[in-house]
Amino acid sequence: MFGKSTLLAALAASVLTLPAQDITEYVDIRPGTLPILLTVPHGGDLKPESILARRYGVTTKDANTAELSLMIIEEMQQQFGGAPHAIICRLHRSKVDCNRELAEATQGDPIATAAWQRFHGAATEIRKQITQRFGSGLTLDLHGHRHVDPRVELGYLIPGTQLNNSDAALNTDGRFKSMSSIHELARRSPLNFAELLRGPQSLGALLEARDYHSIPSPSKPSPGTAIYFSGSYTILAHGSRDSGSISAIQIECPWEGVRDTEANQRSFAKAFTAAVGEYFGLHFQYPLGPVKK
């Protein structure tokens, strides 16, 4: 009879003896058919001994975000008849951080570097495919936070200190639009920039309509002095700040009510998927589906 601990030890050993070059195990790439790229850099558990531990930067994982992403894929399949493209890092954040630039992400480790390149190489390739097929699209970068205020934090590369500006300031100073990860969407939208970030048609409003408190949103337009995550490398590299027509939003999920139980993950996946569908109809002018209609 194998006890549970024996079985776990055997499983752990099998992970540790994976070939060092077998980076396909470390970055799970799931091709889809929708004009959406779902990235999950911090949900991994694997800690192969062949990769050196990172020596600086954040090394804690975003618990249950990989699980949540699989439910979002299922919900999109159900609600839109097609799956998003998805890239899920299976390595623990103590081994690689795919939401940082290469030097901080891998700290020189060659296998971590190969995993990081697989993650971002795939994202670049998928963005090209989406652009060719649909003309535009959206990267959604999924994370988890444990801030005191359990809201969904939506990151557009606009730091909290800047979000504290008035709508008038956000609209008149063109720098805000051009520093954001939805730059292309903002350029072609008939809405002004503050409306896109926190008006009634913002993603925050569409999530709040489904009972998930969010920031920025009409009810909580800016963080004030509270900690708020505005996004990092993934939405910078795979959004439209500098070029292209794939915009990006970082989705930081609170623990309570969203990531904590399977039932809550499922409810959030359903609501989030519906909100993204509505967002698409509003800002991309065609219904979300595997074929552009």
Nearest to 140 by CA among 97, 179, 177, 182: 182
Shortest separation between residue 128's beta carbon and Zn ion, angstroms = 25
> Closer to Zn ion at the Cβ: 53 or 58?
58
Using rule CB under 5 A, residue 143 touches Zn ion: yes
* DSSP code, position 58: -
Q: Which stretch binds Zn ion (CB under 5 A): 56-64, 115-123, 254-262, 279-287?
A: 56-64
Output the CA–CA distances (angstroms, integers) from residue 161 to 86, 157, 165, 205, 226, in the order listed: 31, 11, 8, 21, 10
Q: Which stretch binds Zn ion (CB under 5 A): 23-31, 37-45, 74-82, 112-120?
A: 37-45
Sheet of strand 36-40, all strands in order from the earlier edge strand to the far edge: 27-30, 85-89, 36-40, 137-144, 246-253, 152-155, 214-215
> Closer to Zn ion at the Cβ: 62 or 109?
62
Are 135 and 162 spatial neighbours (Cβ–Cβ below 8 Å)? no
Give the C-alpha separation, 39 to 133, whole Å: 20
Are 164 and 221 spatial neighbours (Cβ–Cβ below 8 Å)? no
> Closer to Zn ion at the Cβ: 143 or 241?
143
Length of the chain as a residue count: 293
> Closer to Zn ion at the Cβ: 42 or 183?
42
> Closer to Zn ion at the Cβ: 62 or 75?
62
The footprint of Zn ion on this chain (CB under 5 A) covers a number of residues equal to 3
Shortest separation between residue 99's beta carbon and Zn ion, angstroms = 6
Rounded to 10 degrees, the C-alpha dihedral 105/106/112/113 comes to: 90
> Closer to Zn ion at the Cβ: 60 or 219?
60
**Interface pick for Zn ion out of 37, 44, 62, 247 (rule CB under 5 A):** 62
Q: Which stretch binds Zn ion (CB under 5 A): 15-23, 82-90, 137-145, 146-154?
A: 137-145
The residues pairing with 46 across neighbouring beta strands, listed in sequence order, are: 91
Using rule CB under 5 A, residue 42 touches Zn ion: yes
Give the C-alpha separation, 84 to 30, whole Å: 8
Q: Would you give the distance in Å from CA 258 to the centre of its chain?
A: 15
Shortest separation between residue 229's beta carbon and Zn ion, angstroms = 8
Q: Which stretch binds Zn ion (CB under 5 A): 35-43, 80-88, 115-123, 146-154?
A: 35-43
Residues found near Zn ion in the complex (CB under 5 A):
42, 62, 143
